Amino acid sequence: MRTQVGIIGAGPAGLLLSHLLHLAGVDSVVLELRDRAYVEARVRAGVLEQPTVELLREAGVGERMDARGLPHDGISLRFDGADHRIDFRALTGRRITVYGQQEVVKDLIARRLADGGDLRFGVSDVAVDPRAATVSFRDSAGARQILRCDVLAGCDGFHGITRDAIPAGALTVHQHTYPFAWLGVLAEAPPSHHELIYTYHPRGFALHSMRSPTITRLYLQVPPDERIEDWSDRRIWDELHTRLAADGFTLAEGPILEKGVTGMRSFVVAPMRHERLFLAGDAAHIVPPTGAKGMNLAIADVRRLSVALTALLTGNDPGPAERYGADCLARVWRAQHFSWWMTSMLHTFPGHDPFQRELQLAQLRYTASSTAAATSLAENYVGLPYSP
């Protein structure tokens, strides 16, 4: 088999990269370990920055997002038992859109297949060679295949195989593990508020979010070694009621469809290229979910990567490809700082004494009352404009 770009991973990064390359006249093949049904059903992020929304529209895959997505003009910081709204539209003129990652994936799969894209689900035994730009794998029928490419794109997430194909000495790794995790639930219940609520509470952080007018996404801060088996549905709802309590607020309950515990970490590798292999999205960097940056960073990566690979493969211009990692990492580190700042301001930390808790509350009160501080939060949350 032969193609110009071999893409490992059919998440939003790999699929969007394939689509953007197609629009530029560059061929690709996408390989994915999971089957299509699994990929389209897995629940991940749900907040799209405005630059992400605009890019999806420009790429011709925003119709369903515009019809079903939930535009939000702000968020609430809940502390001292009350909401303090950060008005994105008033402060920046921009907004976010709540639209599930799995919905973005569905849109991209449908578009790529309609355009004749080569998407191969259910592959196994995948091995990549960054120097030769080849991929060895077994297809869904178990037959061994070799895919020969001009370049490879590793879009297979934090636990994927492409980053491990790079010699350890060729990468610089920056990482930080936070001393807590998030217990997340997906509930069949209408959202209890029209916008996201980020809650600081002495018992720990809580987040009220949503996926649709009938599905609520909720999170609780828990210890990093917490067992989901110890959390009955009733215990989850009782803790959410306690942490999200505020005057005039009623939390709507419903059947819990999914629940799980996710650790919190920051992770960045550099460079994001080794020989003919380029890394994008979670394969190269992880942020804590507090800032809602994960999927948006992946999409920003592949926007830049599609331009770089088009210049390399159709214009014989290696410049953008050589600058790819450094250009991406400038945005990644800004997002890392914002996510760390949000996380540090809103979570309780083991061993925090009253002095440290008062510092957090002072920061929250300043952010909620200062136009300058609120604007800084807002412009980072809605997404900084893409660089040229």
Residues 6+ apart with CB under 8 A from 69: 48, 53, 97, 98, 99
Beta-bridge partner residues of 263:
181
- Is residue 324 flagged as an active site residue? no
Provide the residue type at 346 as one letter: L
Residue type, 214: T
Can you tell me whether residue 216 is helix, strand or coil? Answer: strand
Q: Report how far apart, in Å, the C-alpha atoms of 7 and of each of 43, 82, 148, 248, 313 are.
A: 22, 47, 11, 50, 15
Pick the catalytic residue: 99, 200, 219, 381? Answer: 381
One-letter amino acid at 182 equals: W
**Which of the residues 130, 271, 289, 320 is marked catalytic?**
289
Return the structure tokens found at 140. Answer: 């869904």
* Rounded Cα distance, 107 and 30, in Å: 15
386 is catalytic: no
d(CA 259, CA 110) in angstroms, rounded, equals: 28
From the CB of residue 369, how many other CB atoms can be counted at a distance below 10 Å?
A: 10
Say which of 19, 22, 72, 193 is annotated catalytic: 72
198 is catalytic: yes
Q: Which of the residues 51, 130, 193, 198 is marked catalytic? A: 198
Terminal CA-to-CA distance of the chain, rounded, Å? 35
3-class SS at 184? Answer: strand
Active-site residue (options: 274, 285, 293, 347): 293
Helix, strand or coil, per DSSP, at residue 276: coil
Give the burial class of 252: count Cβ atoms within 10 A of its Cβ; 0-12 exposed, 13-18 middle, 19 or more buried: exposed
72 is catalytic: yes
Peptide bond into 190 cis (omega under 30): no
Q: Which residues are catalytic?
A: 72, 198, 289, 293, 381
